[in-house]
Structure 1
């Protein structure tokens, strides 16, 4: 507690100098509700304005590679190939753990439906086309499910949420893995596309019979029911902060923190969970960047992984586990400007 207070005090004392050094980020819609809150609070504390554009993880990765933003937001780590194509060494720092949920619009159904990974894969493969299909009703005995056609909603933009969802489906369905695979952008067998988590949530909200995968907070904000999903241990788990956090327990976190949390072996874990990352250059001396900009970014990232974690749970994101937060701060502390530690 004292350490957080001292860190906040240190940031406040540097706020005046940094107030003129505003920062720009772009990328994932998955953490946008959290980042909106974080950056508003950060501006109050320091005077630094952080402008974050929710344009999808794929677009965020493109912008940081092109060095048009100070940082990118992404729910999936960049691939080794994509990182090698960048003009400098990129670092990934996780800021939260979020859950991707199957949200749906089924008039008259008042209790959360149960889904398995196989059923979700078959819906998105176009093999299950009606809500009263026996594969769904068998999982939900006693629930009267209307015989509506399933209207599949999915992302049309390059999306980290899509990556997380498809990463999970590839682990639980060999057919999905071979026919569709994993990625930010996919060749979808079926469905209507929309931009951002908010776009998919909008389709589901306005379309009886629809199903869409969205980050938990978007389902809650739009008052959309969402289902529980069977985890690797066989338990049907409804997404919440605790089950999302459990997905990281027992997972070996590499030094660079790039790791998948889907289909966790933890018996209490929600199976479609992921870190969301901030991506930035280790050496900040490029283009017209100043050392003041570099220090401003380092201060922001330090705050997001310490004091800023206090905003995660109220917005339905899990905090970083202590060991992950420690690795994140080590990466932040490795930042340089022209080869010199900031």
Structure 2
């Protein structure tokens, strides 16, 4: 009888655990997908909660959270005021990491790290520089034997936060780019071959001799692609890495809602094409068929991501959030409600 009672209690405990476990859904940024894959696997170990995240691009992530088909959207650029007005409720943003967008390339015979400036990258993506041995590239890389190979420009075909970050940077350093193309999740590219997601652009670069493409640092490393150093606001050529990406946020005034650009940072050691990546969600979590338990579990996930979950950022080549930014995320999370009452 004692053994049967113990077994019965065990079944009750397991059933209760299964009933309390929630599934959280998110969609968006491919930029942060490698990090979120790791984070959500680790979170499940500690909480039992499944997080189903789809890497569909920041533009689609923004659209899906507005449509309320997911619990959160993920985006490497914050929503504009105009876009947020189209949502059926108040949206909040919290950053979860800082990442670097790199200029990766595949130039046969070149095994060294090339140097780029912002204006040079703008001219390549404007289609003004067409060959790898162009004088403008040779001037920055005089000791490299550059071939007379046509440049194949690789860029995103989908709505992309990585595109928004890259074009935001180009708009800051090139008046011609700002005037002719501008910055957004999707732009009218003057030249180039489109790939879906960071992995799609990385695939084009890897398989195409002469290609150059902008991708998040982790994708370049995972695909064993070469990537260049980029001259920053202080005139220094900076190799993209966690530290220089983190420095991009130092000295920047972070607004209360955390929506801010950190490209072309004035910090002397900063990598210039860096960005926060955001989770976007509704302040009031009572909508549709959402229960208070689901809302609490979602808030717990977000608190973990900006807390204990930060330990996974640097091993995957993302920078941790600065302490002042973490404090602002906590204030934002404390404002989350369920049916108007504090959650």
Q: TM-score band (shorter)?
A: over 0.9
Give the structure-1-normalised TM-score. 0.95
CA distance in 1, matches of 2:311, 2:26: 21
Q: Give the secondary structure class of the aligned counterpart of 1:81.
A: helix
| Corresponding residue for residue 206 of structure 1 | 207
Distance 1:58 1:200 in 2: 16
Runs of 5+ consecutive residues of structure 1 not aligned to the other structure: 1-14
Normalised to the residue count of structure 2, the TM-score between the two structures is: 0.95
User: Secondary structure of the equivalent of 1:284?
Assistant: coil
The 5-angstrom pairing of residues 80-229 of structure 1 reads 80-229=81-230
CA RMSD of aligned residues (A): 1.0
Residue 272 of structure 1 is matched in structure 2 by: 273
Contact 1:18–1:47 at 8 Å: present in 2 too?
A: no
Match in the other structure for 2:306: 305
After superposition, the C-alpha distances for 1:166-212 in whole angstroms (9 at most, x for unaligned) are 00000000000000000000100000001000000000000000000
Residue 308 of structure 1 and its aligned partner are, at CA, apart by 0.2
Equivalent residues in 2 for 1:221-300, closer than 5 Å:
221-300=222-301
1:109 deviates by 1.1
Return 5+ residue gaps in structure 2 as ranges: 1-15
Render the CA deviation track for 1:269-298: whole Å, top value 9, x for unaligned. 000000000000000011111111110110
**Structure 2 residue matching 1:138: 3-state secondary structure:** helix
Task: Name the CA distance, whole Å, in 2 between partners of 1:257 and 1:200.
Answer: 29
Please give the alpha-carbon distance, in whole angstroms, between the structure 1 residues aligned to 2:97 and 2:205.
Answer: 25
Given that 1:164 and 1:273 are in contact with CA atoms closer than 8 Å, whether structure 2 keeps it comes out as yes
Task: Report deviation, 1:16.
Answer: 3.6
1:19 is displaced (CA, Å) by: 4.3
Deviating runs (4+, > 3 A) in structure 1? 15-19
TM-superposed deviation, 1:329: 1.3
Answer yes or no: is the 8 Å Cα contact 1:18–1:292 preserved in 2: no
Deviation at 1:18, TM superposition (A): 7.4
- Cα distance in 2 for residues equivalent to 1:39 and 1:332: 19
- The equivalent residue for 1:331 is 332
Deviations 1:210-264 (A, max 9, x none): 0000000000000000000000000000100000000000000000000000000
Look at both structures and tell me which one has the larger radius of gyration over its CA atoms: 2
User: Shift of residue 20 of structure 1?
Assistant: 2.6
How many positions carry a matched residue from both structures? 328
For residues 283-341 of structure 1, the C-alpha deviation after alignment (integer angstroms, 9 at most, x for no partner) is 00111111111101100000000000000000000000000011011111110000001
Q: Say yes or no: does 1:43 pair with 2:44.
A: yes
Instruction: Measure, in 2, the Cα distance between the counterparts of 1:74 and 1:44.
Output: 25
